[in-house]
Amino acid sequence: MGIPSMIGFAALNIYDIVDMFWVAKLGAEPVAAITIFSAFYWVISAANQIAGTGSLAVISRRYGEKDFPETERAIKDTIILKWVLAIFFGCIGFFLIDKILALLGAKGEVLSMGIRYGRVQFLGLGFAFSTFTIYTALRGIGNPNMAMAIMLGSTALNLILDPFLIFGWWFFPELGVVGAAVASVTSFTTAFLAGLLVFYAGRCNVVLHFKSQVRLKVSSMLKIMRIGLPTGLNDISFSFARLVVMPLVAVFGTEVVAIYGVGMRISSLGIMVIVGLGLGLSALIGQNLGAKKPDRAQKTADQASLLAIGIMAFFGLVNFVFAPLIVRIFFQSADLVSLGTALLRIQAIGFPLLGLYITLEMIFAGAGDNVPPMIIGMIYAWVLEIPLILLFTRVFGFDQNGVWWAIVLSIFVGASIFYYWYRKGKWLQRKV
């Protein structure tokens, strides 16, 4: 269950890295523009997480109970819900992006690029949101390989389109940073349509019909939202924390922002492997609890936690040893290589416990017990990370490395608190 999701999400983040590679050819400003926009996009994406996390628990539980009509309804409910949320929040993002990016520290050409890039992304937000429902539903009904195939196909299309649209290769227009956004929207749209074809053509374990056996209900959608709301609030909290962190990074200059963006893309490669593992894990947790097998759910969770720590420890070691070579893929300037090497090596130290933290979040999501992760996430962001960044940079006077060390220390404390709560085992009794 986990390996196909790991491969699929690793592919998505390989795309993110390659995308940043091509954009970096345009200079540090476009990289900074995408980095600042991404902090805003995280906030908007919290709506996607609310519906997505709730749907994961409901779809996998109903499938584990072998109630296929209700499983079908849960999938359709989620797709409709995602489109409603995307239209609403996409409009907010589209019309307020200039003010938000300026508030986050974007200026001049960085601001202009961020606005153009972001508005294209918001126009395709419905396809982006609902595509992840396709992936979640396929994993929830025991078809992770199909989800992986669609993810790989979508990523391949994105990788191909990127340089053609950014630089105007062949007969394509030269769109610059906007080309990266157009490529992303095109790939999401293709993946969503391919996923619908798979479901309605009966190529997976649950078939969608144009006329369902069980009527769709607003109350069912609200239940999905209620289950996922704590996760959404956690994501909103985390996203706003990223918004607060961004100006704290931006005070050190555009080059540091660009390095921060590259560093986040590199770390996301390992993170998304763990998220992929966790999404397969979440489906298994939900299916086992739905089948009244809590002992198997506990064993699965323990094994996945150890696996995540091992994977991220290896990933951290690679980042630590090869940090200068990795940074040179994006930038050749000696100053940028030095800044990037320090960032990659510091953040690598926290990777093992970051892997544990993410896996615990996915375990609780599969069980539908999303309040504890929300509380711990808020403690991590607002009691630990941001105060430590301010302490290290404003009180002690450290440079940008103080930001990176504050983030690592927060991960260690946050993961330790989370693991203590996990061992109490209350998530095994959660009803959905």
DSSP conformational letter for 124:
T
Residue 51: pLDDT band with limits 50, 70, 90: confident
Number of other CB atoms surrounding residue 422 within 10 Å = 21
Cβ atoms of 50 and 230 within 8 Å: the answer is: no
- Please count the structural domains in the chain: 1
Query: What string of DSSP letters covers 313-344?
Result: HHHHHHHHHHHHHHHHTT---HHHHHHHHHHH
pLDDT at site 312: 95
| Backbone CA torsion sign across 102, 106, 111, 115 | negative
Q: Assess whether pLDDT exceeds 90 at residue 367.
A: no
Over residues 73-115, the pLDDT tens digits come to 999 999 999 999 999 999 999 999 999 999 888 888 999 999 9
> What pTM was computed for the model?
0.74
Q: Among 209-223, 231-245, 361-375, name the most confident range.
A: 361-375
Q: Assess whether pLDDT exceeds 80 at residue 353.
A: yes
Give CB contacts under 8 A, 24+ apart, made by 147-153.
147/4, 147/5, 147/8, 148/4, 148/5, 148/7, 148/8, 150/191, 150/194, 150/195, 150/198, 151/8, 151/9, 151/11, 151/12, 151/191, 152/7, 152/8, 152/11, 153/190, 153/191, 153/194
pLDDT at site 3: 81
Residue 165: pLDDT band with limits 50, 70, 90: very high
Which phi and psi angles does 134 have, rounded to 5°? -60, -50
Which phi and psi angles does 290 have, rounded to 5°? -65, -30
pLDDT at site 413: 96
Q: Assess whether pLDDT exceeds 80 at residue 381.
A: yes
Average of per-residue pLDDT across 46-61:
84
pLDDT at site 382: 94
Among 303, 400, 312, residue whose Cα is nearest residue 351:
312
pLDDT at site 79: 93
Rounded Cα distance, 236 and 230, in Å: 10
pLDDT at site 391: 95
Q: Assess whether pLDDT exceeds 80 at residue 17.
A: no
Average of per-residue pLDDT across 217-234:
83
Number of other CB atoms surrounding residue 216 within 10 Å = 14
pLDDT at site 380: 92
Over residues 282-316, the pLDDT tens digits come to 888 988 888 888 899 999 999 999 999 999 999 99
Cβ atoms of 432 and 368 within 8 Å: the answer is: yes
Rounded Cα distance, 307 and 286, in Å: 19
Q: Assess whether pLDDT exceeds 80 at residue 5.
A: no
Query: Could you tell me the two tokens for 58?
Result: 């409901």
pLDDT at site 240: 81
Over residues 268-287, the pLDDT tens digits come to 888 888 887 887 888 889 88
Residue 24: pLDDT band with limits 50, 70, 90: confident
Give every CB contact of residue 44 below 8 A, 6+ residues apart in sequence.
89, 90, 92, 93, 122, 125
For residue 108, give its domain range: 2-429
Q: Assess whether pLDDT exceeds 80 at residue 9.
A: no
Over residues 338-347, the pLDDT tens digits come to 999 999 999 9
pLDDT at site 19: 81
Q: Assess whether pLDDT exceeds 80 at residue 1.
A: no
pLDDT at site 384: 94
Over residues 107-132, the pLDDT tens digits come to 889 999 999 999 999 999 999 999 99
Q: Assess whether pLDDT exceeds 80 at residue 232.
A: no
Residue 188: pLDDT band with limits 50, 70, 90: very high
